Structure formats: C-alpha cells, structure tokens
Amino acid sequence: MKDNRDQQPSVILTGFADEVSNEKTLIEQFSVFAALGLQYYSIRFVNLGEGVKNVMKLSNQELHRVREIQNDFGLNVSSIGSPIGKIKLCDVEDGTKNAYIPFEQYLSEDVKKVCDIAHLFETKLIRGFSFYQPKGEDPKKYISEAVDRLGQIAEVCHRSDLTFGLEVEANLIGCSGWILAEIFRQVNHPAMMLVFDAANLIMQGYTAAEIYEQYEAMKPGLGWLHIKDYVRSVSDKKGEHINEDLMAGFVPANLGYAGHEAILRDFASVAPPLAKRLRARGIPGVFCDLEPHVKGGGQFGGYSGPDGLGVALRGLCRVLDYVGIDYHLRDFDDLKAARGF
C-alpha cells in the first residue's frame, strides 16, 4: 500500500524556543511553544537558574533536567541548534572575535559532544555551519579546506546515525546558496544536508530573484528550512563582510523582501519526496524551523518575545495555507491522547 504522506505536501512546524525569552528560562520557552500549538522545538540557549548557556555548555545533569521539563510540556526536539562550524578555518588574526580550535580537537570534543546531545534528546538532526575564512578574503578560495573538514564532521554524524545540516549564513565560507551547493556537491556524503534561510541572504543585498536562484541551487541538498525574512540589506555590496551587530530588519515570512511565497510554492513539490528520504534516515518529516529574530538578532542568536514568535508563526501559516502546504498544530484530540482518553 502506498503511503499517502509521500504524496501530500506537508511540513512539521518547529522553532528556536529560546527566541521567546531574553532570559532563556525553560518554563517561558516551553509554555509559549505549547500554548502556540507547537510540538517540536530546536534547542540552542537555556537558563536553568545559573545564567544563559548554549546547549553545548550544559553538563549531563543539566541536559537531563532539560529533558525532564520538556517532557512535562509534551515537546520534542527537532534539531540541535549547535554552533558547530562557527569557528575560524585558519589560525590567523583578522580583527574578529571568532575562535580558532585545532580541528582534530574540535572533532573529538565538540562534534562528539553534539552527537551525544542529539542522542539524549532523541533527535536525528544537528544544525551547523561552514567555518569562517579570514575576514575580507574570498570564501571561494577556502572551499576545498572547508569540504575536507565538513566531510569529516558528516562522517562522525553518520557513524552516530545522525544528519548534519549546513546552514547558509553571511561571513562564513558558505555565505551564499551557490557556494553551499558546491560544498554539498564536493562533500557528497549521505549524512550532510543543507539548510536554507532566506533572511541570511536578503541581508547581504541579494534580490528576491537572486535568492530564488540560490534556493534552486541548494534544492538537491535541502534537508530543512529556517524561516525568517528581512526588509533591507545590511550591506551595499553583495558578499562583503556583514556587521552582525547592525542586523535589525527581521520580519515574519509574509512581510519581508525575500519572496517566501515563491520559494514555498515550489517547495510544495519538493516536500513529499524529501520527506520520504528523511524518514528513511529516521527523521519524522520536513521541518520548517522558525527563527524569526523580530525583536533583534545577531551572530549567535536572536529574540522575538512570546508575542513576536506568535506573530511569526501565524505569518508562516498564512503563507503555507496560500501555497497549499499542510501542517499540524495541537488540538483537543492531541490533549485527549496525551491524557489517555
């Protein structure tokens, strides 16, 4: 019998829960997500009473505490929103605050730890990045070095039955969809996929038409989507270094300049076969991951507030409804099932 899920365009709604609170407390994060009807979240920053910590900095005891609280709210982790790959490729002083870590150490410590965290939260997905080239230099010169390291990261993830998602973002080697697509082609590993983010391109000065071209370039490697939009570029020159402290034009997907309607209209045909491939890797489906930043964003995170996250979710749902992509929010039947009646 044919699985109807493989014919209907459908996505799973999720988001970065830390966006709802400046203090990043778990009760705030989880209360808002549960109230909005979301059943999945991406974990990045948390506050368990001893200050805000990236998930990579949590102890085993703290990680288990997060898992306990998460279960009380009926939530599941869609992906680990890790900073893997947000370090310098080369040990050179370039005027940035980006760290350099010897790669063998990075692979055996940070990459191993994020795999362990993914297993603890029973998610198959790890979000990561493509390394920083020296500031001001052409990222294309460093593709081969990035490919070598990303291939090794993908292999570590593969051995743990996990999938590494490489996000397009300014200032990194994979700062455009075209470069990221070439990295994907050269790495050529089943455990590495690509994460499209339209706002990370519009802020670099690309037009909606150019962003659509980059989405098309990334399509063969797409794993999931980050959803946020932007209303103006930070840079007047495409591809130049972005001052990430000046990013202040984020808006919901139905209001920005990136052209989410056209992208998601095409994605409706991509989603069914992609969902089938993802389920073969143990992933429940195609995630649309809200990372709205509507009250501010920067190099390692952003803030939307509970109201902003709600506005961004409803904006995304409007676009999905318009282009004919299905999604699910919690309803009374879910509550009855959770209570066993």
- Please write the tens of the pLDDT for every residue from 300-333: 678 889 999 999 999 999 999 999 999 999 887 8
Cα(125)–Cα(166) distance, rounded to whole angstroms?
A: 11
> Cβ(125)–Cβ(283) under 8 Å?
yes
> How do the domains of the chain map onto residue ranges?
4-339
How far is residue 29's CA from residue 19's CA, in Å, rounded to a whole number?
8
pLDDT at residue number 274? 98
If you average pLDDT over residues 241-248, what whole number do you get?
70
Partners of 45 in beta bridges: 54
Distance (Å, whole) CA 302 – CA 57 = 18
Distance between CA atoms of 195 and 84, rounded to whole angstroms?
A: 14
Has residue 206 got a pLDDT over 70? Answer: yes
Max Cα-Cα span within the chain: 62
Say if CB 192 and CB 127 are below 8 A apart: no
- Is the pLDDT at 251 greater than 80? The verdict is yes
Q: Please report the pLDDT score of residue 299 as a whole number.
A: 64
Q: What is the pLDDT of residues 30-86, one digit of tens each?
A: 999 999 999 999 999 999 999 999 999 999 999 999 999 999 999 999 999 999 999
Residue 287 CB neighbours (<10 A): 25
* Least confident span in 6-10, 177-181, 315-319, 321-325: 6-10
Q: Tally Cβ neighbours within 10 Å of residue 24.
A: 22
Q: Alpha-carbon Rg of the chain, whole angstroms? A: 19
- Structure-token pair, residue 216: 């098309």
E strand spans, the chain: 12-15, 40-43, 45-47, 52-54, 76-81, 125-128, 163-167, 192-197, 222-227, 229-230, 250-251, 287-290
Mean pLDDT of 157-182: 97
10-14, 222-226, 264-268, 329-333: which has the minimum mean pLDDT? 329-333
Per-residue confidence (pLDDT) for residue 102, from 0 to 100: 98
Q: How confident is the model at residue 294 (pLDDT cuts 50, 70, 90)?
A: confident
pLDDT band at residue 335 using 50, 70 and 90 as cut-offs: confident
pLDDT at 23 over 70: yes
Buried b (16+ CB within 10 A) or exposed e, 169-183: bbbbbbbbbbbbbbb
Q: pLDDT at position 245, please?
A: 64
- Banded pLDDT at 1 (limits 50, 70, 90): very low
Q: What is the pLDDT of residue 31?
A: 97
- Contact present, 177 and 168 (Cβ < 8 Å): yes
Give percent of the chain with pLDDT exceeding 70.
93
**In the prediction, which pLDDT does 78 show?**
98
Measured between alpha carbons, how far is residue 160 from residues 2, 67, 69 in Å? 30, 20, 25
Instruction: Inform me whether the pLDDT recorded for 92 exceeds 80.
Output: yes
In percent, how much of the chain has pLDDT > 90? 84
Looking at domain 4-339, which CATH architecture does it have?
A: Alpha-Beta Barrel (3.20)
Q: b/e map of 243-280 (b: 16 or more CB within 10 Å)?
A: ebeebebbbbbbbbbbbbeebbbebbebbbebbeebee
Residue 63: its pLDDT value, please?
98
d(C-alpha 322, C-alpha 264), whole Å: 9
CA 124 to CA 122: how far, in whole Å? Answer: 7
Q: What is the pLDDT of residue 283?
A: 98
